[in-house]
A and B are shown apart, each in its own frame.
Chain A
């Protein structure tokens, strides 16, 4: 704790108070209750003097951090729960962030993103893939992996390990490339004249085999052609799909199809690699000075807690239940507009320009998202 930098986002000023250091938990608690910030962060890095300016801090090392955020992953919900409003012409719509306003070509938007079940489920799947690789390939024990729901749209994995701490940004980039499969060359992964990896192989070899198998299991003609294959080749693959899938029991399909050479396989394999790559945020992991939200503090955009999850419980973990901070009472709010959402056991219907009494956590989420205001009566009661 003494070696970390702490930072706080202030409610009123909306500015970041940085370069704070604390000697004891007591000091830290006193500071928190005095300042009551909206968000609390600490550095992944360890410093000799955390309170100094960046150049004078004396970097000693940093935990290895992974951030999996639904923003970086294409999801089946297509982000239809998110809204954007053009700051130039006022036009608004639903879906992922745009580059240009379709009406006035303006590029400045106000956008509101929602924590969504589909998004978080996708992020969770990626997180489980990550944990699996950290365990099997990198040999890290669950004890060294600190896993947490971020309080908004994803998961964080912190690795605290003495040896890894000292890795520089270039070395961490190699770990990022490993997770994403960037720079992977099939020639160096066991492909050689009709021989290729098998499903039971470890590391990327096995993952290439699995990804390719999964892709071929369900691929349509269109999907095959989208990889750059000729129509003839795509049809040939579809005709022989059973034979291909069957071949995985032995040496794999790499040599069994006449007329499908290494170039065609390369295109199919690229899809397999894409399926198996782990969609982590590349900037977070390579940044050795990163500030990260402190566990058990509230996320200013949701009112939910960043909460730790054990690697063995992640599969059953329900962020919309476990991360609720405000368990009691209710608040009456004026809602301008909100999509359907769930918190705990309750699902809330979409609201539009209406006054509703909601459990505190639900009201808090709407307030944090700027979708509701506290009614004047509530304020006067308080």
Chain B
């Protein structure tokens, strides 16, 4: 920015309108299509439009818009990075202080999975926590002396993830200056566009009544353990309570579920349930841990058919509810 001599206060100068236009377009594309298309007719405009777009999104100050924009730019980064040479990828990785080494192509060590790089496991883990495919799980990787084998395409994907996280951090920073009026107006317009799109995609609401038949296997098991007063681990209790609250059960009814427990104390249970329901302390309403966390802590009793298609107990519940709903009229028709 400094090198290209662009001053923020001059952004409303007609001279820069093509840059600001392109910046607005970038964000608009992110909102509409969840990606930023390549439009590199003029390199200078393309490069300068990026920081301007970042400023606009930061000014719009909507956490969901920030996430969406960061993701869209990351996707774009991935499509560019995957075309780059190994040398170039390694250089970009070094900008983020990755410990990455190219694998010598004449390596005599037999590899079942071909690798272009080895990446330190800390860098690897930091950039895979949002990935859910089993091929990204550390346990399924080749790791030796702290270094994980990755292909060139995987390295590009991990770098894009680094870009996304980096952008989210940048977008969260408070802007220490005032943007020119016209730019602020554009930011506001983008925010409105985003909100109108978000409104359309609003998630269906949870029904008010809890349907035990739609519980996933883990919650079913915990629920029956609670009802018969069997011992439940700490994380099991948390999963059950947060699940029941999110399924629409009242605090009172959740407390009732635990009444048969041998060490039941109404005061303690109420405190914990209310805390999870968001009525105390930090006022956050908690959601249950996702499936793979429950698996790690031994709460998952084994998966059924629906489990294979979801990653979260609440997603299972929503899916099963829909299934029950569509099946019930048919069942009723038969009787």
Q: Which of B122, B134, B146, B262 contacts A183 (CB 8 A)?
A: B134
A107 to B231, CA, bound (A): 8
Pair A178/B262 contact, Cβ less than 8 Å:
no
Nearest chain A CB to B110 CB, angstrom units: 9
Pair B296/A177 contact, Cβ less than 8 Å:
yes
Give me 15 other A-B pairs in contact (C-beta within 8 A), A174-B125, A177-B296 excluded.
A100-B230, A107-B231, A108-B263, A137-B146, A138-B143, A139-B145, A139-B146, A140-B146, A163-B120, A164-B122, A177-B139, A178-B139, A185-B134, A192-B112, A286-B297
CB of A106 within 8 A of chain B? yes
Bitwise interface map of A from 84 to 110 toward B, beta carbon under 8 Å scored 1, else 0? 000000000000000110000011100
A138-B146, A188-B140 are contacts. A171–B297 as well, Cβ < 8 Å? no
Closest to B292 in A: A183
A to B CB contacts below 8 Å, 28 in the list: A99-B230, A107-B231, A137-B143, A138-B146, A139-B144, A163-B122, A166-B126, A167-B125, A168-B129, A171-B125, A171-B126, A181-B139, A182-B139, A183-B139, A183-B140, A183-B295, A184-B137, A184-B140, A188-B135, A188-B141, A192-B112, A202-B142, A202-B144, A204-B139, A205-B112, A205-B142, A282-B296, A283-B235
A171 to B140, CA, bound (A): 14
B125: chain A residues within 8 A (beta carbon): 167, 171, 174-175
Pair B129/A171 contact, Cβ less than 8 Å:
yes
CB of B32 within 8 A of chain A? no
CB of A176 within 8 A of chain B? yes
Pair A183/B143 contact, Cβ less than 8 Å:
no
B298: chain A residues within 8 A (beta carbon): 282
Q: Which of B129, B144, B297 contacts A170 (CB 8 A)?
A: B129
Nearest chain A CB to B327 CB, angstrom units: 31
Pair A99/B231 contact, Cβ less than 8 Å:
yes
Pair A283/B120 contact, Cβ less than 8 Å:
no
A204: chain B residues within 8 A (beta carbon): 139
Nearest chain A CB to B283 CB, angstrom units: 11
B129: chain A residues within 8 A (beta carbon): 168, 170-171, 174
Query: Interface residue count for B (Cβ, 8 Å)?
Result: 36
Pair A283/B139 contact, Cβ less than 8 Å:
no
A163 to B99, CA, bound (A): 11
- CB-CB nearest 3 A-B residue pairs: A139-B146, A107-B262, A139-B145
B144: chain A residues within 8 A (beta carbon): 136-137, 139, 202-203
CB of A173 within 8 A of chain B? yes
Within 8 A of A (CB), among B171-230: 229-230
A residues near B (Cβ < 8 Å) are: 55, 99-100, 106-108, 136-140, 163-164, 166-168, 170-171, 173-178, 180-185, 188-190, 192, 202-205, 282-283, 286
CB of B234 within 8 A of chain A? yes
CB of B24 within 8 A of chain A? no
A106-B262, A107-B229, A202-B144 are contacts. A182–B296 as well, Cβ < 8 Å? yes
Pair A173/B140 contact, Cβ less than 8 Å:
no
CB of B121 within 8 A of chain A? yes
Pair A184/B235 contact, Cβ less than 8 Å:
no
CB of B328 within 8 A of chain A? no
A167: chain B residues within 8 A (beta carbon): 122, 125-126
A137-B143, A183-B134 are contacts. A173–B282 as well, Cβ < 8 Å? no
Pair A190/B112 contact, Cβ less than 8 Å:
yes
Closest to A175 in B: B138
Nearest chain A CB to B232 CB, angstrom units: 10
Nearest chain A CB to B126 CB, angstrom units: 6
Pair B120/A203 contact, Cβ less than 8 Å:
no
A173: chain B residues within 8 A (beta carbon): 292-293, 296
Nearest chain B CB to A289 CB, angstrom units: 14
A100 to B147, CA, bound (A): 47
A167 to B298, CA, bound (A): 22
CB of B128 within 8 A of chain A? yes
A136 to B296, CA, bound (A): 23
Pair A203/B142 contact, Cβ less than 8 Å:
yes
Pair B230/A176 contact, Cβ less than 8 Å:
no
A184 to B135, CA, bound (A): 9
Bitwise interface map of B from 128 to 170 toward A, beta carbon under 8 Å scored 1, else 0? 1100001101111111111100000000000000000000000
Nearest chain B CB to A265 CB, angstrom units: 17
Nearest chain B CB to A290 CB, angstrom units: 13
Pair A283/B297 contact, Cβ less than 8 Å:
yes
A202 to B234, CA, bound (A): 36
Q: Which of A55, A282, A286 contacts B282 (CB 8 A)?
A: A55
Closest to B142 in A: A203
Pair A182/B126 contact, Cβ less than 8 Å:
no
A171-B125, A282-B298 are contacts. A177–B134 as well, Cβ < 8 Å? no
Pair B234/A283 contact, Cβ less than 8 Å:
yes
Nearest chain B CB to A172 CB, angstrom units: 8
Pair B134/A174 contact, Cβ less than 8 Å:
no
B297: chain A residues within 8 A (beta carbon): 282-283, 286
Closest to A55 in B: B282
Within 8 A of A (CB), among B282-322: 282, 292-293, 295-298
A286 to B298, CA, bound (A): 13
Nearest chain B CB to A273 CB, angstrom units: 10
A374 to B274, CA, bound (A): 45
Q: Which of A163, A174, A202 contacts B137 (CB 8 A)?
A: A174
A106 to B228, CA, bound (A): 11
Q: Which of A106, A188, A203 contacts B134 (CB 8 A)?
A: A188
Q: Which of A136, A163, A180 has the most CB of B within 10 A?
A: A163
A171: chain B residues within 8 A (beta carbon): 122, 125-126, 129
Q: Which of B112, B137, B230 contacts A177 (CB 8 A)?
A: B137
